[in-house]
C-alpha cells in the first residue's frame, strides 16, 4: 500500500512547493490566483486521502537533542511567571465549558506516549517520542459544540498560531504534549506544552502553547498567511 505522502509526491498533486516558493513575498500578484487554486486542489486530495484511523509508528533510533528546534522570537521563548502568572492552557471558543488547565491538571488527565515520525516541510524526517493529552480528550471535556469545525492553536512565541481542521486535530495521535523522550519539554522544543501530531507538517505543530480555540470557521496561521499550505498534511 502506498501511503498518501508518497502518493502526493509521486503524483505531482501537491502544491506545497509552489506555495512555499511564494512564502513571505507571495511572488508576483498575477500568480496568487494560481497558487490559491493549486492549494485548494491539493487540500481536496489530502482530505479524500485522510484516514482518521491511520496511525504512525516511527522506526529507528530516537533523534534526541539532534532534532532541530524552531521558534520565531529572537531567542527560545520562556514563560515568565513573575510577569504572566502561572502558565495554564485555555480551551475556549465553540465549547460548552471553557477550561483553564495548569501543567499539573494536564498531567492528571489520561496520558498517551507515542513514538512517531516528525515531518518537516524542508524535507527531513526524525523519529522522536512525545507524551501528553489527546486534543480529542480536551474537546470532550470542554464539550465541543456541533458547530466546531476547526481548531486554532495559539502560542506565546510572538503570537505564533496555526489553525487545523477538526478531523486532524482530534486524530488519536494529535497531542498537547508536555514530555519528549521521557523528559519535560525544554525551551528549545516548546515548553511547557505544545501541539504535536504526525498527521501534520512541523510548522502546523504549534509550540509554546497557550490556547486551544474551537472555531466554526477556519482562520489562518503564522506560516499559512505567508503562503505555506494551510492544510499542511503529511
* Residue-wise pLDDT tens digits, 66-117: 999 999 999 999 999 999 999 999 999 999 999 999 999 999 999 999 999 9
- Whole-structure pTM value: 0.83
Nearest alpha-carbon partner for 155 in 90, 96, 93, 108:
90
pLDDT in the model for residue 11: 42
- Conformation bin of residue 153: beta by default, left when phi > 0, alpha when psi is -120 to 50: beta
Pairing state of beta strands 209-215 and 89-93?
A: parallel
List pLDDT tens digits, range 166-183. Answer: 999 999 999 999 999 999
Cα atoms in the 13 Å half-sphere on the side-chain side of 168: 28
List pLDDT tens digits, range 117-140. Answer: 999 999 999 999 999 999 999 999
Q: Do residues 89 and 210 make contact, with C-beta atoms less than 8 angstroms apart?
A: yes
Instruction: Supply 52's cell numbers.
Output: 482518521
Q: Do residues 181 and 128 make contact, with C-beta atoms less than 8 angstroms apart?
A: yes
Amino acid at each position: 500500500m502506498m501511503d498518501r505522502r508518497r502518493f502526493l509526491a509521486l503524483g505531482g498533486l501537491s502544491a506545497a512547493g509552489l506555495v512555499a516558493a511564494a512564502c513571505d513575498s507571495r511572488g508576483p500578484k498575477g500568480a496568487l490566483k494560481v497558487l490559491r487554486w493549486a492549494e485548494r486542489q491539493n487540500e481536496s486530495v489530502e482530505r479524500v486521502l485522510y484516514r482518521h484511523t491511520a496511525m504512525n509508528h516511527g522506526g529507528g533510533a530516537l533523534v534526541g537533542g539532534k532534532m532541530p528546534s524552531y521558534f520565531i522570537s529572537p531567542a527560545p521563548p520562556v514563560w515568565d511567571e513573575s510577569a504572566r502568572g502561572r502558565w495554564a492552557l485555555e480551551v475556549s471558543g465553540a465549547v460548552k465549558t471553557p477550561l483553564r488547565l495548569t501543567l499539573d491538571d494536564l498531567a492528571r488527565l489520561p496520558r498517551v506516549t507515542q513514538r512517531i515520525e516528525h515531518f518537516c516541510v524542508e524535507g527531513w524526517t526524525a523519529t522522536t517520542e512525545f507524551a501528553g493529552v489527546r486534543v480529542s480528550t480536551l474537546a470532550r471535556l470542554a464539550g465541543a459544540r456541533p458547530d466546531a469545525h476547526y481548531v486554532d492553536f495559539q502560542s506565546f512565541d510572538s503570537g505564533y498560531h496555526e489553525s487545523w481542521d477538526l478531523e486532524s486535530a482530534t486524530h488519536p495521535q494529535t497531542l498537547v504534549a508536555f514530555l519528549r523522550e521521557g523528559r519535560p519539554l525544554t525551551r528549545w522544543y516548546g515548553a511547557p506544552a505544545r501541539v504535536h501530531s504526525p498527521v501534520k507538517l512541523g510548522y502546523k505543530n504549534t509550540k509554546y502553547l497557550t490556547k486551544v480555540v474551537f472555531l466554526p470557521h477556519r482562520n489562518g496561521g503564522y506560516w499559512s498567511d505567508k503562503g505555506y499550505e494551510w492544510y499542511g498534511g503529511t
